Homo-oligomer: A and B are copies of this chain.
Amino acid sequence: MKENLYIIKIGGNIIDDEEKLASFLESFASLHVKKILIHGGGKVATSLAKDLNIPQQQIDGRRITDEATLKVVTMVYAGLINKKIVSQLQSMQCNAIGLCGADGNILLAHKRPVTAAGVDYGYVGDVNAVASDAVQSLLKGFDTLVFAPITHDGEGQLLNTNADTIAKEIAIGMSTLYDTTLIYCFEKNGVLMDKDNNNSVIPVINGVSYQELLSTKNKNGEPVIAEGMLPKLSNAFATIEAGVGSVVIGHALQLEKIIKGESGTKMRL
């Protein structure tokens, strides 16, 4: 039987709130299992870019990573946030190692090509491969790894990469070696039927109900699956389809309940 491995992704809303982050990290630290945390960036990078007068360009809500912005996200994600999380985990007797995708060649990526519509996202990386042997080697010595969403192209170039995607890729990459669970943590209790009602969690979504949900409207005539939720669900399904045993979307402050199967939205094939 394979050993359990939890891949847990937390988003910017938790990173930006010191109390919530500490509370999440307490639950995370108390999981005495092999686990990998992937953190997003939060508002710190945007605020640092502003302080440095580096204009932030967005196309369709996605950040363009020019050279100056890449420096900012490398500093904030792989430096400030990653090491702050690791030092907090250490204070909770959780012996974590903080990494980015260049470390151990763990997340090899390529610079996203200019799109057909001519959009150049800049130094943004799409993951080619996860060095699962390197991750396994680290997990032999340390129960806990913490990843910043920075990858590299193997030719000396760091790249900014979506943290949800990294979580998916690591979960898929590790699933041949471990009994892997992927948990996307965010600020709601799961995928909601009514976005204003945190008690309207859809407990299970499978391939069929997913397709139905995509075309379901709420009482106000809006799609139940809001735009921001689409990439998360799409990543979640791609992970399940690639053979990862368990994928859950739930609230960052209900980690223990999610793991017990008492909270969040579970994905099924």
Surface stretch bound by B, among A2-10, A137-145, A194-202, A208-216: A137-145
Is A83 in contact with B98, judged by CB distance below 8 angstroms?
no
Cα distance A33–B168 in the bound complex, in angstroms: 34
Is B90 in contact with A102, judged by CB distance below 8 angstroms?
yes
Which of chain B's residues have a CB closer than 8 A to the CB of A77? 79
Is B137 in contact with A87, judged by CB distance below 8 angstroms?
no
Which of chain B's residues have a CB closer than 8 A to the CB of A150? 83
Task: Confirm or deny: A207 has a beta carbon within 8 angstroms of a beta carbon on chain B.
Answer: no
Is B88 in contact with A80, judged by CB distance below 8 angstroms?
no
Surface stretch bound by B, among A151-159, A184-192, A259-267: A151-159
Cα distance A45–B257 in the bound complex, in angstroms: 43
Is B78 in contact with A90, judged by CB distance below 8 angstroms?
no
The A interface, classified by DSSP as helix, strand, loop or mixed, is helix
Is B152 in contact with A141, judged by CB distance below 8 angstroms?
no
Q: In the complex, which range does the number of interface residues on chain A fall in?
A: 35 or more
Q: Chain A 81-93 against B: per-residue CB contact (8 Å), 1 yes, 0 no?
A: 0111011101100
Cα distance A95–B257 in the bound complex, in angstroms: 38
Task: Confirm or deny: A97 has a beta carbon within 8 angstroms of a beta carbon on chain B.
Answer: yes
Which of chain B's residues have a CB closer than 8 A to the CB of A96? 103-104
Is B102 in contact with A100, judged by CB distance below 8 angstroms?
no
Is A104 in contact with B155, judged by CB distance below 8 angstroms?
no
Which of chain B's residues have a CB closer than 8 A to the CB of A51? 52
10 residue pairs, one from A and one from B, having the closest CB atoms: A79-B79, A137-B141, A75-B75, A91-B156, A75-B79, A87-B102, A87-B152, A78-B79, A97-B103, A86-B102
